[in-house]
């Protein structure tokens, strides 16, 4: 099978709207949380989120692209544009059917849906919906519009596996290139879920932190006082390319994708298996495919959303999959970015790759008192970033419905 490498990356995040800024702020331990400004959340149980700041879509998008797309698609187009620019792929030199788009979106056009339905309900009940209502709403439009922007005519679709979504997309792109069905893919994920219905729905489940008076310390993975996740938004994009093709054109290679796997918990609607049975198997299968021993993994970016049940379940899974964790540094970057739902895996994949490039592990911020239930021997990087050798990095993403997706990256 063909080898697969990463030759371009792009990001829109609560920590910055390009990869360079995002990485710098992550290493500094910056915090993207604050009071919700997107709408009046004063009556909601949760009134905080990690919003994208200073987003200027016109840098990469024209007026028609902005007019016809929901915010989640704008984030996707923007991040994909940065990744394409970064990769320097000359599209005139490649068959357009050899380049595809596999994009991950968990919720889709929530903002569009709420706006249009609210107008209908509060108006005269006359059906005056926008002709762009459906195109702005449907989740596959991000992958469709990316392909239209660049004339990419290869495999094109959108994955949905809740918060495991963008890892699913990256895994699919990885597999198609390995099988020789494409030379390159734009892959990753985007989400724009900071809306009344989305915040209200997760609040009703009591899945999100209600630390409204102290948003900067609300997301605190593995901490004894954690009380739920903080919603985030944005996008992450990676240009995956067949190794020989990238090498021949002299592309800059960030890292190699060497293994990926998915499993299901088959356990509960929203809760992970308490022993992490499905999650541990996903990690084991991804390592086996990569041909890498667990002891050779240097850095794990866990799913770690800051929920009481999920964090410990994942570390139980890590303990099973790794047996010995002396060499493994773990840092939960959702402490800084919040939880981007379907886009979470994409931006965390970027951080895992950058950790390999710079030999630095980002910190877990806000975590002061580690939960006593954490298995012994876990090295959680708290406080400041850690300079250390990072040749192999793993990224986990898990979703409601019991979806588990793990990706393994290696330096090259």
| Residues labelled as active-site residues | 163, 303, 339
Q: What is the CA radius of gyration of the chain?
A: 20
Angle made by CA atoms 218, 222, 225, in degrees to the nearest 5: 50
Rounded Cα distance, 260 and 156, in Å: 20
Q: How far apart are CA 39 and CA 298, in angstroms?
A: 41
> Which tokens is 270 given?
């929203």
Q: 10 Å Cβ neighbour count for 323?
A: 10
Query: First and final CA of the chain: distance in angstroms?
Result: 17
Cα–Cα dist 93/362, whole Å: 38
The single residue listed with the structure tokens 């019991």 is 402
Cα(151)–Cα(43) distance, rounded to whole angstroms?
Answer: 45
The neighbour count for residue 65, using CB atoms within 10 Å, is 18
Q: Which two tokens stand for residue 88?
A: 């320097």
**Nearest alpha carbon to residue 166 among 346, 405, 11:** 346
**Among 407, 304, 397, 299, which residue's Cα sits nearest to residue 357?**
299
Assess contact for 403 and 268: CB atoms under 8 A: no
Asked if 191 contacts 340 with a C-beta cutoff of 8 angstroms, the reply is yes
φ/ψ (deg, to 5) at 51: -85, 150
CA atoms within 13 A on the CB side of 126: 3
Q: Where are the beta strands (DSSP E) in 265-359?
A: 299-301, 329-330
268-280 burial code (b ≥16 CB/10 A, e <16): eeeebbeebbbbb
Q: What are the E-state strand segments in 243-330? A: 255-264, 299-301, 329-330
Cβ count within 10 A of residue 245: 18
Q: How many CB atoms lie within 10 A of CB 26?
A: 27
């Amino acid at each position: 099978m063909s080898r697969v490498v990463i030759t371009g990356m792009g990001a829109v995040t609560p920590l910055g709207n390009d990869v360079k800024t995002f990485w710098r702020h992550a290493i500094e331990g910056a915090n993207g949380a604050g009071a919700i400004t997107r709408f009046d959340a004063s009556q909601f149980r949760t009134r905080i989120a990690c919003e994208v700041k200073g987003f200027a879509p016109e840098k990469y998008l024209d007026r028609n692209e902005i007019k016809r797309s929901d915010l989640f698609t704008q984030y996707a187009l923007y991040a994909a544009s940065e990744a394409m620019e970064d990769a320097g792929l000359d599209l005139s030199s490649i068959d357009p059917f050899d380049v595809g788009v596999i994009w991950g979106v968990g919720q889709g056009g929530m903002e569009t849906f709420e706006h249009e339905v609210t107008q209908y309900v509060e108006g005269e009940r006359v059906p005056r919906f926008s002709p762009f209502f459906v195109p702005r709403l449907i989740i596959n439009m991000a992958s469709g519009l990316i392909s239209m922007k660049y004339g990419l005519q290869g495999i094109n679709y959108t994955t949905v596996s809740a918060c495991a979504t963008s890892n699913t997309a990256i895994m699919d792109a990885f597999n198609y290139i390995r099988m020789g069905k494409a030379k390159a893919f734009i892959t990753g994920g985007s989400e724009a879920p900071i809306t009344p219905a989305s915040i209200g729905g997760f609040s009703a489940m009591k899945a999100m932190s209600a630390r409204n008076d102290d948003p900067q310390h609300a997301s605190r993975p593995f901490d004894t006082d954690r009380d739920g996740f903080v919603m985030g938004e944005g996008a992450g994009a990676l240009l995956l390319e067949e190794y020989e093709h990238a090498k021949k054109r002299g592309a800059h290679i960030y890292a190699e994708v060497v293994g990926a796997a998915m499993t299901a918990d088959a356990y509960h609607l929203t809760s992970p298996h308490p022993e992490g049975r499905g999650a541990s198997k996903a990690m084991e299968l991804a390592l086996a495919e990569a041909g890498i021993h667990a002891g050779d993994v240097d850095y794990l970016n866990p799913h770690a959303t800051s929920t009481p049940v999920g964090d410990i379940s994942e570390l139980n899974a890590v303990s099973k999959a790794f047996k010995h964790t002396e060499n493994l540094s773990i840092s939960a970057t959702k402490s800084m970015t919040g939880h981007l739902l379907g886009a979470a895996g994409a931006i965390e994949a970027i951080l895992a790759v950058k950790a390999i490039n710079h030999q630095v592990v980002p910190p877990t911020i806000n975590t002061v008192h580690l939960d006593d239930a954490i298995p012994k021997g876990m090295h959680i990087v708290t406080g400041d970033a850690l300079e250390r050798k990072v040749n192999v990095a793993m990224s986990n993403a898990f979703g409601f419905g019991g979806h588990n997706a793990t990706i393994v990256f290696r330096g090259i």
